[in-house]
Chains A and B, each alone.
Chain A
């Protein structure tokens, strides 16, 4: 049973470009969470999604950031017009349909904005 997969593992973007981060949850998991870890800071919740629904996006910046989890395919975290302050590690985690069990983390995507 493959774990949570994220790609790319490393992403370099110039200021103003778009960044798309992908997360494939563990098989059978229908809940996805995105977290951000800024350099030298702790992890922070961004958004919680179930298939085709955003349940809680209270941690997501209001502008430039969006997330989706379509019926088919991976969850996507999209950052438009990236700025240097977006440079961080972005982790996704998934949990089974009960939604209150363990969260299993992916390896993360390290975004560098130059």
Chain B
């Protein structure tokens, strides 16, 4: 079992739909990152959070430390949101806190 699990692996939706991507982790973490990887391959950091909730535009990320679970939500989805979304757990301790452990990614396709 991977230390970081994402679901679903693939998600196809219609423009305008509310999107939820889930991430569960089995290790202690100091922070959780959500990343976006576009078809061209570049990686953009969306959020880094260690508690509660963060919002940026139509994107919302939440984390429940007790349940070891995080979600990424996209409101009013648009075809340009089509990408692979990756969650990554940052460990604890001097070395662990520097290392990201990645989920397998969720491939999101938004159809017009």
Contact = CB atoms under 8 A, between A and B. Distances in A.
B76 interface: no
A51 to B, nearest CB: 14
Contact of A102 (B42, B43, B48, B104): B48
Interface string B1-37: 0000000000000000000000000000011010100
Given A42-B104, A42-B105, A103-B33, A31 B44 contact: no
Interface in B38-76: 41-45, 48
B45 A110 contact: no
A107 B98 CA distance: 20
A108 B35 CA distance: 14
A61 interface: no
Interface string B95-110: 1011111111100000
Contact of B101 (A31, A45, A91, A99): A45
Interface in A19-39: 31, 33, 35
15 contacts: A42-B86, A42-B103, A42-B105, A43-B86, A43-B88, A43-B100, A45-B100, A48-B98, A55-B98, A58-B95, A101-B48, A102-B48, A105-B44, A108-B42, A110-B41
Given A33-B98, A42-B105, A105-B43, 14 more contacts: A42-B102, A45-B101, A56-B95, A58-B99, A59-B99, A91-B43, A99-B98, A100-B30, A100-B31, A101-B48, A103-B45, A103-B100, A105-B42, A108-B41
Given A42-B86, A42-B105, A43-B102, A99 B41 contact: no
| Tier of interface size on chain B | 20 to 34
Which 9 A-B residue pairings sit nearest by Cβ, starting from the closest? A105-B43, A43-B102, A42-B104, A56-B95, A48-B98, A42-B102, A107-B42, A45-B99, A102-B48
Interface in A54-80: 55-56, 58-59
B interface secondary structure, majority: strand
Q: How large is the interface on A (under 10, 10 to 19, 20 to 34, 35 or more residues)?
A: 20 to 34
B75 to A, nearest CB: 23
